[in-house]
Amino acid sequence: MDRLVYLDYAASTPVSEEALHVFQQLSQDCYGNASSLHDAGGRANDILTYSRQSFAAILEGEPDGIYFTSGGTESNLLAIQSIANGLPAHRQHVITTSVEHPSVHHAVNSLERLGVKVTIIEPNPDGIITQDILKEALLPETGLVSIQHANSETGIIQPLAELAPLLKEKHIVFHTDAVQTFGKIRVSIKELGVDAVSISSHKVYAPKGAGAVYMGAHVPWKPLYSGAVQEGGFRLGTVNVPSIGAFTAASEQLMLKRDELHRQHELLRDYFLQQLKIRQLPVRTLQNNGSRRALPHIIGCFFEGFEGQYVMLACNRHGICISTGSACASGYHDPSPAVKALHVSDRDALQFIRLSFGSKSSKEDIDQLLHTFEHLQKEKKGA
């Protein structure tokens, strides 16, 4: 087998040396329960206090608004459901989009079963939620809108700052899932105009098992669980201090090289697109449409004549890790809603594959991937 080529950073990232060092150190030296009143508990709580300050500075919010969770999925579920739980009776209407992460859809589906009115809006053919699309869905009773910052499968970035004024003037809470954008581009509470944000550790070179939600002080959330004392009643269970400390360290390091990585990913994206033309491979990418604003490290492709799952498994046999979409939706063979939203056929949607770059990605990785694509094409012609 060839050397392992990992091109699935949008699903999960390797743990950085800095994050691993902090995780090991805190696991050994800071094992107290952060809720305990003794000195060991105090040291653990000090780590959480520092981490809140760090994330608040990165997000341009307040430390008291940071609540730690077990990851992006729990962050989305708790944020949406606790905000809905705090809405007054006359504002029990929630809006989200058809292209959200499955955890967002699980959250609103649960709310709908409890009697909350839910509206799912569709993006335009470029994958964008426009002001007109959102405005048409707003009702007098709308209390919460949840729209992702960027899609994990297509990389398309939503114009949150353009949508926020529509909601602010009507006092509607605005939540965004920023799991894919945090650490990749600027995520500023003030700049985006959002009230609540979800982020996750394992997308930013930290261990799995940690995440965070930012809630503005004005957000009317209520705890989902009676008797919860951890994280201000936001969630149940002992706080994972080593993972949160590592999450903090990884995020701080990533902020220092974020812009450099962004340029590196742009160069890799451009190289990939250039090589597709040079090698005349029948691969169409979402990046061919210049009107779409998207994260450069995520590339969605359609390999003509091959189902995405077949291509993914063939690449795996050659030591290359890519995906057919969100890892949290693996096992489902139906076309991705995020891809279907771009007005592609079911046939094309089933051909979809995603590659995503990270800190260790290189032109050599892309060359090995394209060599595998050429091999598949030759096999097909020779069959």
Could you give all domains of the chain from N- to C-terminal order, each with its CATH number?
A: 5-12+258-382 (3.90.1150.10), 17-252 (3.40.640.10)
What is the spatial distance between Cα 134 and Cα 41, in angstroms, rounded to a whole number? 46
- Classify 155 in phi/psi space as left (phi over 0), alpha (psi -120 to 50) or beta: left
pLDDT of amino acid 288? 59
| 3-state secondary structure at position 8 | strand
- Which residue among the candidates 30, 315, 321, 328 is catalytic per the annotation? 328
In this structure, what DSSP letter does residue 61 have? S
Considering the chain, what is the average pLDDT of its residues?
94
What is the spatial distance between Cα 303 and Cα 279, in angstroms, rounded to a whole number? 14
| 3-state secondary structure at position 32 | coil
pLDDT of amino acid 111? 98
Check if the beta carbon of residue 283 is closer than 8 Å to that of residue 304.
yes
Burial of 132: CB neighbours in 10 Å, binned 0-12, 13-18, 19+: exposed
Does the pLDDT of residue 3 top 90, yes or no?
no
Q: Which amino acid is at 5?
A: V
Higher-confidence residue of 343 and 127: namely 127
- The DSSP bridge pattern shows strands 117-121 and 196-200 to be unpaired
198 Cβ contact list (under 8 Å, min separation 6): 72, 75, 76, 79, 175, 176, 177, 178, 179, 211, 212, 213
Does the pLDDT of residue 70 top 80, yes or no?
yes
Nearest Cα to Cα of residue 153 among 123, 133, 132, 173: 123
Check if the beta carbon of residue 87 is closer than 8 Å to that of residue 220.
yes
Nearest Cα to Cα of residue 87 among 24, 171, 28: 171
Higher-confidence residue of 113 and 348: namely 113
Does the pLDDT of residue 325 top 80, yes or no?
no
pLDDT of amino acid 203? 98
What is the spatial distance between Cα 92 and Cα 66, in angstroms, rounded to a whole number? 25
Higher-confidence residue of 349 and 332: namely 349
Question: Which residues on adjacent β-strands are paired with residue 354?
Answer: 300, 323
46 Cβ contact list (under 8 Å, min separation 6): none
pLDDT 10s digits, 195-230: 999 999 999 999 999 999 999 999 999 999 887 788
pLDDT 10s digits, 112-166: 999 999 999 999 999 999 999 999 999 999 999 999 999 999 999 999 999 999 9
Does the pLDDT of residue 171 top 90, yes or no?
yes
Does the pLDDT of residue 291 top 90, yes or no?
no
Residue 328 known to be catalytic: yes
pLDDT 10s digits, 229-250: 889 889 999 999 999 999 999 9
Nearest Cα to Cα of residue 198 among 115, 297, 103, 308: 103
Does the pLDDT of residue 290 top 70, yes or no?
no
pLDDT of amino acid 332? 57
Q: How far does Cα 334 stand from its chain's mean position?
A: 21
